[in-house]
Amino acid sequence: MDTKELLKKVRKIEIKTKRLSNHIFGGEYHSTFKGRGMTFSEVRQYQYGDDIRAIDWNVTARYNETYIKVFEEERELTMMLMVDISGSELFGTSLQFKKDTITEIAATLAFSATQNNDKVGLILFSDQMELYIPPKKGKSHVLRIIRELIEFKPKSKKTDINEALKFLSGVMKKKTIVFMLSDFMDENYRKTLKIVGNKHDLTGIRIYDQFDEEIPNLGMVPMLDNETGEIQLINTSSKSVRTKYKANALRLKDEFKTSFKKSGLGTISIRADESYVKKLLSYFKNKA
């Protein structure tokens, strides 16, 4: 992709996702994710209805009038976007690839965080750590994240969620808001997920295609595994083949939901061809 085309793509995503974050998600994000605690702001005179536990006795004694301490929420937070860029994300049977939907959602979340003056970082992973951008503030930083989401070429096409979670634990020492965006076509990450979930506020966003879960009867069809590069001739007219395909998809879907639920973490499932706006808004409102 040349520079002109890349900038055009970045601008298109910026316009769409920034509008969403400004008018929809900004307020929901602010009310859903609280600051780390309350910090002292000022001292003012006591007013009827104020909590007497907030009285500043030293200042009250000095001025012979009742004063209280005013505290405000320490708002600054850090958001980390963990994005699966393995081969299976380059799949889509409708309007766009799963990767495109993931990029839009990640951009919307990043702009929502920036609107609240929070830091945003990025982890791109396959079955290895592909790229780490430390958390930082500002629009130019978010635009860099979007550029990487669009054009970054991974070294590997496979997936290892477990390794990605271990990397997160290693680089993020303080509590962080984490969104992991993937199709979650992986397993055996439950133990590490629980450890990470005890420290961070992590949400799993599963992006899937309708044919990830069920294949239609199309006869003999050559199928490419985007993660291994292997092509197999599959007889989709066979009911047992379709049943096994669906059973495997449901097993991975259940692994995703069960793993996050048992770790006390939130999940969102979004089909790549449907609007993610309502799903995200509903999640934020329920979480608040």
Q: Is residue 172 part of a domain?
A: yes
Q: Is residue 42 part of a domain?
A: yes
The answer to whether residues 185 and 46 belong to one domain is: no
Instruction: Lowest mean pLDDT of 12-16, 107-111, 189-193, 229-233, name the range.
Output: 12-16
Q: Is residue 280 part of a domain?
A: yes
Q: Which residue, 74, 101, 129, sits at the end of a domain?
A: 74
Q: Is residue 83 part of a domain?
A: yes
pLDDT for 60 beyond 60: yes
Q: Which residue, 45, 74, 103, sits at the end of a domain?
A: 74
The answer to whether residues 58 and 167 belong to one domain is: no
Q: Which residue has the higher pLDDT, 83 or 31?
A: 83
134-173 burial, b for 16+ CB within 10 Å, e for fewer? ebbeeeebbbebbebbbeeebeebebbbbbbbebbeeebe
pLDDT for 16 beyond 60: yes
The answer to whether residues 59 and 122 belong to one domain is: no
Contact 285, 266 (CB under 8 A): no
Instruction: Lowest mean pLDDT of 3-7, 50-54, 234-238, 272-276, name the range.
Output: 3-7
Q: Is residue 215 part of a domain?
A: no
Contact 180, 243 (CB under 8 A): no
Parent domain of 162: 3-32+75-210+264-287
The answer to whether residues 50 and 79 belong to one domain is: no
Q: Give 22's pLDDT tier (boundaries 50, 70, 90).
A: low
The answer to whether residues 206 and 279 belong to one domain is: yes
pLDDT for 40 beyond 70: no
**Number of structural domains the chain divides into:** 2
The answer to whether residues 69 and 101 belong to one domain is: no
Average pLDDT over residues 95-106: 89
Q: Which residue, 74, 101, 136, sits at the end of a domain?
A: 74
**From CA 50, how far away is CA 68, in angstroms rounded?**
8
pLDDT digits (tens, 9 = 90+) for 173-220: 888 999 999 999 999 999 999 999 999 999 999 999 988 888 888 888
Q: Which residue has the higher pLDDT, 150 or 72?
A: 150
Average pLDDT over residues 10-15: 75
Q: Which residue has the higher pLDDT, 135 or 13?
A: 135
The answer to whether residues 68 and 201 belong to one domain is: no
Q: Is residue 254 part of a domain?
A: no
CATH number at residue 167: 3.40.50.410
Residue with tokens 């929809």: 24
**% residues pLDDT > 70 (the chain):** 86
pLDDT digits (tens, 9 = 90+) for 115-131: 888 899 999 999 999 99
At 34 the pLDDT is 58
